[in-house]
Amino acid sequence: MKKHRNYTARKYRIARQIIFYVIVAIVIFVLAMILGNHLKGKVDSIDHSTTDVLEETGPEKDPGEDKDEKEWEAEHDPALAGVSCGYLSLSADSDMVGARRAVEAIRTSGCNAVSFRVTDNDGKLTYRSPAIEEATRLPAAEALIPFEVLSEAFKAAGDMDMRVSCVMDASDSLSDPMIAKELYGAGADEIVITGFEEYTVVNNDTVSSIREYTDKLRKAVSGEVGIAVAFAPEFYTDPHNAPYIEKIYKCCEFLAIDMTGADAESVTETARELAGSFTAYLLRPVLSGEDADLVGEIDAALTELSISARQYISAPEPEGDDGDE
């Protein structure tokens, strides 16, 4: 009798265990279904804009990569390789007639563009700027070129189908965009920026600062005036700068090379070393024209190397002028 009771107890205990595990399995299955439906509802309710952001998640990008793709790029007209700029010599005593005669003399010399120096060796304006007078409420010095005379010279160049190229030193002044806008209004076709000649080795930060500056000028002239930046020969010959030159060229219509202190021999040597750059970057030599004999030698050297572009930023002193201001 005792054995029978033990057998019956074991039999019911096993049955209860089986029922327990079945119930647990059913509960787990039901909970899993409820949780699954809940998560599916969450996924379905996610906004499409959030999904787009998630889909873009991937390998880390260079912070400047997207910006570079959207940045404005200059157009590079091959005709700029043939621009030969003769120095436009004006003074405080110049008048309207004298302005036209000065332009005619440049055309007679064989040049197809005039080169006007906006700033002198000290970075000061060479002409009386109405924009600066209005901003500062101070009259311009009488020793400067009258703005009306400068405008007449630019108009004369336009009438003779000559390009007007202005050379200006870069500065930290807020007036630079104002000057650029004023020159554009007077008839300037392009502005060559000097003052970066000390940058012989550059990096991304340098390029960004140069681009920021040129963009300010370009915005001031509504993109209607060509912009160029001049560097020293060492800048172009250093292989380290190659990728940065490309970046700078993208924001300039052409590039310039400062050869103001060079003789004919060094001009020839540099031009041969950078033969490819003169074509690739529409590279324009910026030259001093104070020595007439040297000008002839340099012109001959450049012509022999099939380089037509040049930009003279000075001229010989008139005979009988002692050079005193």
| 267-320 pLDDT per residue, tens | 999 999 999 999 999 999 999 999 999 999 999 999 999 999 999 999 987 665
- Please give the pLDDT value at position 79: 97
- Does residue 138 surpass a pLDDT of 50? yes
CA distance 252 to 69: 16
pTM given for the model: 0.77
- Please give the pLDDT value at position 62: 39
Same domain, 261 and 164: yes
Which is more confidently placed, 167 or 320?
167
Which is more confidently placed, 263 or 28?
263
Tracing tokens 């099939």 back to the chain, one arrives at: 306
| Gyration radius from the chain CA atoms | 36
Question: Are the beta carbons of 221 and 164 closer than 8 angstroms?
Answer: no
What are the φ/ψ torsions at residue 160 (nearest 5 degrees)?
Answer: -100, 15
Phi-psi region of 176 (alpha: psi -120 to 50; beta: other; left: phi over 0): alpha
The model's confidence at residue 7, banded by pLDDT at 50, 70 and 90, is very low
- Does residue 27 surpass a pLDDT of 50? yes
Question: Which range is least confidently modeled, 41-45, 56-60, 68-72, 282-286?
Answer: 56-60
Q: For position 236, which CATH number holds?
A: 3.20.20.70
The answer to the question of residue 20 being in a domain is: yes
- Does residue 127 surpass a pLDDT of 80? yes
Tracing tokens 């920026």 back to the chain, one arrives at: 193
Range of the domain at 40: 2-56
Same domain, 36 and 177: no
Same domain, 52 and 84: no
CA distance 150 to 91: 10
Same domain, 210 and 295: yes
- Does residue 266 surpass a pLDDT of 90? yes
Same domain, 165 and 228: yes
Give me the number of domains the chain comprises.
Answer: 2
What would the mean pLDDT of 66-82 be, rounded to a whole number? 78
At 39-52, the pLDDT tens digits run 445 434 434 333 33
Question: Are the beta carbons of 190 and 170 closer than 8 angstroms?
Answer: no
The model's confidence at residue 254, banded by pLDDT at 50, 70 and 90, is very high
- Does residue 156 surpass a pLDDT of 50? yes
The answer to the question of residue 146 being in a domain is: yes
Same domain, 174 and 224: yes
Read off the amino acid at residue 134: E
Same domain, 129 and 41: no
Of 216, 201, 226, which is closest to residue 309 (Cα–Cα)?
226
Mean pLDDT of the chain: 84
- Please give the pLDDT value at position 60: 44
Of 40, 56, 72, the last residue of a domain is 56
Q: Collapsing DSSP states into helix, strand and coil, what is residue 318?
A: coil
The answer to the question of residue 69 being in a domain is: no
Same domain, 90 and 9: no
The model's confidence at residue 25, banded by pLDDT at 50, 70 and 90, is low
The answer to the question of residue 68 being in a domain is: no
The answer to the question of residue 65 being in a domain is: no
